[in-house]
Amino acid sequence: MSLLPGLTDSNQATDLFVDANEVHKLVLKEETEWKVEIPSSSKLTITIRSGIAEIFGTELANDVEYTFSNWKISLSAVENVILEWKCPDIPNKDLMIEPNTTSKYVYNLHFGLEKMRNSSFNGPRILVVGNANSGKTTLCRTLCSYAIKFKSYQPLFINLNPHEGIFSPPGCLTATPISDILDVQSQTWGQSMTSGATELHSKQPIVKNFGLENISENRSLYWDNMNQLSNAVNERLQNDVIVQRSGCILNTPSLSDLDEEFNELVTIIDRFKVNIVVVLAEQDEFTLFEKVKETLRPYIGDFLIRLPKLSGRFEADDAYKRSLQRTAIKEYFYGTPKTILSPYASGADFEEITVWKPINMVEAQGTTSTSNPLQLLPVTVDASTLQHALVAISYADRKSSSSEVQKASILGFGLITEVNEKKRKIRILLPVPGRLPNKAMILTSYRYLE
Amino acid sequence: MDKETEIIVKDFTSVLDELTFNSRPIITTLTKIAEENISCAQYFVDALESRIEKCMPSQKLYAFYALDSICKNAGSPYTIYFSRNLFSLYRKTYLLVDNVTRTKLINMFKTWMTPNETTGGSLPLFERGALERIEQFLIKASALHQKNFQSMLPTPTVPLLLREIDKLAGLTNERLRDQPNDQKLQTKLMVLSQLKQELQRGKLSLDALKQVQLQLTEVFAQDQQVLQERVRYQQFQQEQQLKQRERSTTTSSLEPTETPMPLGTNNSPSPLFNGSVSSLFGNVSRIVTPEDFAEMEKASKLTSIQTLFHSLNGAGLIFTPPKESIVTLFDKIDSTNKLNSKKAKNNNLPSISFLQDVVSNCKAYFATANVNILNTPTLQLSQQNIVNDNPVVTKSLIHLLYRNKPNKCSTCGKRFGNSIEERKLQTAHLDWHFRINKRIKGSSTTNAQTNAMTSQKNIQSRNWYLHDSQWVKFNDDEIVSTQNTFNENPKQTIADVDQQKYASGSNGSSTATNIQMSNFEDMLSLNKNDANNSTSETADLSKKYVIVPESTEDMTFQCPVCKDSVTSVYDEELGEWIWKNTVIINGKKFHSTCYYETIKNNSSL
Ligand SMILES: [Zn+2]
Ligand SMILES: [Zn+2]
């Protein structure tokens, strides 16, 4: 007794029963949204008990426990919602619950697009542009989710922003038909195809590897990737009636990453036959909007719409973006808690691998004669360059030339976990079991330390 | 602190900061640094203590693990330094973390109490005083927990207890009906009736009543468990029957007598489990509900019933019999009957949220009945139309995304409409979920004789992306078709890595792709022969080993698939040198997991 004087006093006693696993009940009014930033390495579980709630356009099932981690989400109440949530690291006070001020615009936009899908075999192709943190990805995700809800459309989502890994690791340009419901718990929107059973239907993306972090590091390479992607997309659309009718939804890099004249936007519009542009910009960014409008008017006429930045968006700092990128890499190899994947650690001798890398124009400034910016440079295999590196594995044979490799399709990604210079061996994590394919690899700027 | 120490301590803290998850490598690194730099011990201790104090509750356990590892490996002086604040750190942490972590903390504490090698094998890890205080604290904490639980039970009164005894007797009788020969149950019934008599005499003190109450709670919990197990078993039986029936419909020519009959009289779940449990003996959360809270809930339910009634009425969905109708007359005449029937009706009323759903679905149906997207000019895309409020969208079209399809999948939230076609889609969708879930959980088959379960887990990996030329021809219907699941359909498009010859660098060290299916079957039969407790396929694979032949000179070999070298280890139990996770196929040694994966992969290509 005497050892524990503090224990019997009432404050202490109640402390004991502040249960970290406590389930909190929350009522959200219609047209409000709950914005949650889940602390890193914590997890939030949400169960909708009644009403209709959605996250970035994807409706949650009722009485099903959803788990979220390493993410910032906006849970939007379409009707009055009663839910239960649990997260030991989020205090149950001052929750960020705000009116959803922009959902009405998104609905208007969606039904406008729906009308176009109803009236033509050639669906709308909509380009979403805006500055960083304006809610571009959120808008794209919501439009994709809505598009598949009433009829079984399969809109093609095209991600031209290499900072974000959607159905792929970061550093890629991708196109993915959204043929079924997205995984509401996943930052990467869901799984690309796996070899086994997944809770939801997986998606089949086409992936172009840009591999550098910023477009400015090699603009020519970025635009070449985009060209390759648009060729494949246009051919797919010709072959695939449903996707063609459903149309395309394109996500773009932040406007600040593009050229100041917006000529690059014109190129995208041209390559992907875009017919609607949505600019996410506030009233005070009016000059920006006007400038975009003037530049694009000759190409798309009046189909240029300005929406305010979405209320469900988050300010994403660099650290947060990096953590999303890490998650995307991790999920590519290991899946999610609900879809656990078994990647495969394989070994290879130095002599058995060929690694290329793109020219980084920013680093190379003045040092190399940059005659052909698309040219790939051979990489000497050593620990300092390859340890923990994410490498793209191309379809091109190992002995192929630089330009063949640069044009080749992408088979997937590997993660070099160990470079043993003494034994002249590497260990590489592969998504698919088996030996390292005898293919040329391309070094990316992304590193991942398990 | 001199320069060198400063660097080492900085190093230590920066590694420590990485300890945001349970990472063995990080903890090992920390332990190593601590072992190698005993001179900095005090600084390390300070750093670790402040980490435990300041980091997020969810991460405190890992810091404790680091402390534990350092003390167990490096021993003194760490054990001495940490003993000083150990109790207060431990106590603070314990109070802040969730129950799962508390259990882990307690388990860790238990290991401290056993004599430890670093302390010479005769003393506990830390100073006795510190450990004793923690022990006292833990005893109190759990006692307090117990007390808290007791205080949440309602004050026992004789009538309350009598009622609960009746319920318990009812339960026991029910079990007795199934197992009429069970002596224990009969004894229990007797004890219960004696207890009842004792209570009715009314001579028991409040304390004694409390004792009775606690005991009853315990007995009830046990009974509940037994019954739950039985229900689970019945469900399992029913599932099996269902499966058999499925099979019998496909094979069609089964005699009707072979169709298994439902088990026993207790086919429908006992009333105990449909939620209307007694106030005292329900699950714990029911017990703790304070009465005023129950009142509040009742009140809020009442208001929502009222609003619900009004909206139902407003939607013209409620039939009110006119004054002169037979219904009203009958009700007036037979007032007692009315009372009873009202009660019965109340019991069968569906939940409020269900009824609310019905109302909203009806509204959505009417709201979208007459809209036509094509004939709505305000949907024409333009700046004006998008930013202006559009009542057609907010009042009616919006329902097309939600309640116009009123049937929401309870697994994924996908919506389905009421048309025959939509109903068919929904059935196919639900079947698909069912099949997928079965595969995710691992197909389990039951051997009737041994009742042993064998299961195969859903082990999977990411696919390669398709080649551009494959992707442009791909059609997603192949994925979203609910007719088949992946792997059930052999025609599934997967990456054609065609030129993938696995050309091995040199002199045929790789035979991986030459291995034929027949070998695979060989291996599986081998697997059956030597593994007598086959539970999981892959677990078995990695458990396979090969005893190093005495004639072998080289104790290591290179796995032809992953190129790893495999070194033999001495197995104490066997008394032999073995290669773990190894199989010999056609005289060649492989990692058995590598071999299996390659085979599986090749056969699916
Ligand atoms: Zn579903
Ligand atoms: Zn191997």
Q: Which of B461, B500, B596 to mutate to test the interface with A (most CBs of A within 10 A)?
A: B461
Q: One-letter amino acid identity for B295?
A: E
Q: Domain end: B125, B152, B179, which one?
A: B152
Q: What is the pLDDT, as a whole number, of residue B603?
A: 57
Regarding whether B139 and B25 lie in a shared domain, the answer is yes
Q: What is the ipTM of this complex?
A: 0.94
pLDDT tens figures, A326-368:
999 999 999 998 888 989 999 999 999 999 999 998 887 766 5
Residue A407 in marked binding region:
no
CA distance B434 to B284: 32
Q: Do B496 and B360 have their domain in common? A: no
Q: Does B536 reside within a domain?
A: yes
Q: pLDDT by residue (tens digit) across A206-223?
A: 999 999 999 999 999 999
| Contact indicator for A180, B415 with CB cutoff of 8 Å | no
B333 domain residue, yes or no = yes
Per-residue burial over B386-411, b = 16 or more CB atoms within 10 Å of its CB, e = otherwise? bbeebebbeebbbbbbbbbbbbbbeb
Contact in structure between B459 and B593 (CB atoms under 8 Å): no
C-alpha span between A165 and A173 (Å, rounded): 9
- Is A218 in the B-facing interface, judged by CB distances under 8 Å? no
Long-range contacts of B311-317 (CB under 8 A, 24+ apart): B311/B359, B312/B355, B312/B359, B315/B359, B315/B362, B315/B363, B317/B359, B317/B362
B121 in a structural domain? yes
Query: Does B248 fall in a domain?
Result: no
Count of all residues that appear for chain A in the document: 450
User: Can you list the domains of chain A with their CATH numbers?
Assistant: 17-99 (2.60.120.1030), 103-318 (3.40.50.300), 343-447 (2.40.30.330)
> A245 to chain B nearest CA, in Å?
14
Alpha-carbon distance B78 to B405, whole Å? 66
Q: Do residues B338 and B478 share a domain?
A: no
pLDDT attached to residue A160: 97
Domain count, chain B: 3
Residue where a domain terminates, one of B152, B180, B212: B152
Q: Does A13 touch chain B (CB under 8 A)?
A: yes
Domain boundary among B152, B183, B213: B152
- Give the one of A52, A88, A232 whose C-beta lies nearest to B468's C-beta: A232
- With cut-offs at 50, 70 and 90, classify the pLDDT of residue A25: very high
User: Which residue in the set A64, A196, A303 is minimally distant from B486, CB to CB?
Assistant: A196
Overall average pLDDT of the A78-98 stretch: 91
Residue A60: per-residue pLDDT: 97
What type of residue sits at position A6? G
Domain for residue B30, yes or no? yes
Q: What is the CATH classification number for the domain harbouring B24? A: 1.25.40.90
Residues B357 and B474 in one domain: no
pLDDT confidence of residue A50: 92
- Is A135 labeled as ligand-binding? yes
Residue B244 lies in a domain: no
Which residue segment(s) compose the domain that B336 sits in?
Answer: 317-367
A234-293 tens-digit pLDDT: 999 999 999 999 999 999 999 999 998 899 999 999 999 999 999 999 888 888 889 999
Instruction: Let me know if residue B568 belongs to a domain.
Output: yes
| Contact list, B597 vs chain A (CB under 8 Å) | 344, 433-434
- B449 domain residue, yes or no: no
Q: Are residues B363 and B474 in the same domain?
A: no
What angle is formed at CA B31 by the lines to CA B30 and CA B37, rounded to 5 degrees?
90
The reply to whether B13 and B134 lie within a common domain is yes
The C-alpha atoms of residue B245 and residue B260 are separated, in whole angstroms, by: 8
Q: What is the mean pLDDT of each run of 10 residues along chain B (605 residues)?
A: 88 92 90 91 93 89 93 88 91 85 86 73 81 83 64 69 79 78 78 78 72 70 64 65 54 38 35 30 34 62 72 65 52 51 52 77 81 87 92 92 93 92 91 84 48 55 94 91 55 67 33 34 36 48 78 78 82 77 84 82 57
- pLDDT at residue B369, as a whole number: 77
pLDDT at B152: 58
Q: Which of A16, A183, A406 to mutate to test the interface with B (most CBs of B within 10 A)?
A: A16
